[in-house]
């Protein structure tokens, strides 16, 4: 049996899940161990935030 949980709580995923799926704009970005999936998600989020800040600094 499997249970699907949808959450933005990384700590909950780490505590409860044996597999994690990262979705971005409806597309599967990664399926795997929670720790790896969370690390990839956080790296992508940091990259996105840095790009947004750079656009704001440059007046875009």
Q: Is 38 inside any structural domain?
A: yes
Q: Which residues of 2-32 are buried (b: 16+ CB within 10 A; e: fewer)?
A: eeeeeeeebeebeeebeebebeeeeeeebee
CB atoms within 10 A of CB 38: 19
Q: Is 1 inside any structural domain?
A: no
For the chain, what is the domain count?
A: 1
Q: Is 21 inside any structural domain?
A: yes
**pLDDT confidence of 59, banded at 50, 70, 90?**
confident
Domain span at residue 28 reads 10-57
Q: Is 24 inside any structural domain?
A: yes
* pTM (whole model) above 0.85: no
Summarised one tens digit per residue, pLDDT across range 16-56 is: 999 999 999 999 999 999 999 999 999 999 999 999 999 99
Q: Is 2 inside any structural domain?
A: no
């Amino acid at each position: 049996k499997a249970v699907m949980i949808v959450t933005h709580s990384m700590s909950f995923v780490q505590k409860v899940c044996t597999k994690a799926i990262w979705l971005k704009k409806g597309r599967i970005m990664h399926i795997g161990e929670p720790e790896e999936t969370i690390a990839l998600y956080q790296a992508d989020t940091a990259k996105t935030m840095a790009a947004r800040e750079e656009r704001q600094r440059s007046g875009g």
